[in-house]
């Protein structure tokens, strides 16, 4: 086989792999359209704003390694996260804003791993919410300063309606964090 033929075969294989990846992502996005959040912009008083926080992923509660392809939350990147008296707004760079009314917010949590990111114990902050189809999901963020994690959790606790609780059977805390030091 000549070098030219070998190069053409490798290019063809790469093209097929890339096409399969693209079709798979498109299929995932189509399946997750039911989660779409097309809410109106929130106008309540700003409780806390987190500019340029690292957005990691959105997953179902209890399935931290199964990324959801929700419009506005499909891709990892920097985001502006604003917690208001009437809900939360997540604006990932290059994506449409996602507005989550306060009625859909379930709470906050911490985690050490999500699809696309593994960090130290409790290094990710998680915003738990109910999607448009009623599924409980969580969006994870990585703050640059540890104090921001606490400020985030306090702000979420401040805007959750009194007496609001997640649906029965949902996981409201991250999975146990057993490390070699704990064993």
- Where residue 24 falls among pLDDT bands split at 50, 70, 90? confident
Residue with tokens 């931290």: 64
Report d(CA 84, CA 168) in Å as an integer: 26
> At a CB cut-off of 8 Å and minimum separation 6, what does 70 contact?
32, 35, 36, 37, 58, 98, 131, 137
Regarding pTM above 0.75, the answer is no
Residue 183 pLDDT exceeds 60: no
> At a CB cut-off of 8 Å and minimum separation 6, what does 99 contact?
37, 39, 40, 41, 42, 87, 88, 89
Lowest mean pLDDT among 52-56, 118-122, 154-158: 118-122
Lowest mean pLDDT among 40-44, 95-99, 139-143: 40-44
- Confidence at residue 27, expressed as pLDDT on a 0 to 100 scale: 75
Q: Are 139 and 126 in contact (CB under 8 A)?
A: yes
Instruction: Determine the CATH number of domain 46-159.
Output: 2.30.29.30
Q: List the domain boundaries for the chain.
A: 3-31, 46-159
| Residue of 68 and 168 predicted with greater confidence | 68
pLDDT digits (tens, 9 = 90+) for 85-95: 988 999 999 88
pLDDT digits (tens, 9 = 90+) for 99-152: 888 888 899 998 888 887 778 888 889 999 988 778 899 999 999 888 898 999
């Amino acid at each position: 086989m000549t070098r030219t033929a070998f190069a053409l075969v490798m290019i063809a294989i790469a093209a097929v792999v890339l096409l399969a990846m693209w079709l798979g992502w498109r299929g995932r996005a189509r399946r997750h359209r039911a989660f779409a959040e097309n809410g109106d912009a929130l106008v309540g008083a700003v409780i806390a704003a987190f500019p340029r926080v690292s957005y990691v992923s959105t997953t179902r509660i209890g399935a931290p390694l199964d990324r959801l392809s929700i419009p506005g939350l499909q891709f990892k990147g920097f985001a502006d996260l604003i917690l208001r008296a009437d809900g939360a707004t997540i604006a990932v760079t290059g994506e449409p804003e996602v507005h989550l009314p306060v009625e859909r917010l379930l709470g906050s949590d911490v985690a050490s791993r999500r699809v696309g990111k593994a960090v130290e114990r409790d290094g990710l902050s998680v915003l738990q919410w109910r999607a448009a189809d009623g599924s409980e999901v969580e969006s994870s963020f990585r703050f640059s300063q540890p104090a921001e994690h606490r400020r985030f959790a306090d702000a979420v606790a401040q805007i959750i309606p009194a007496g609001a609780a997640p649906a029965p059977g949902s996981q409201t805390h991250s999975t146990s964090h057993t490390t070699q030091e704990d064993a």
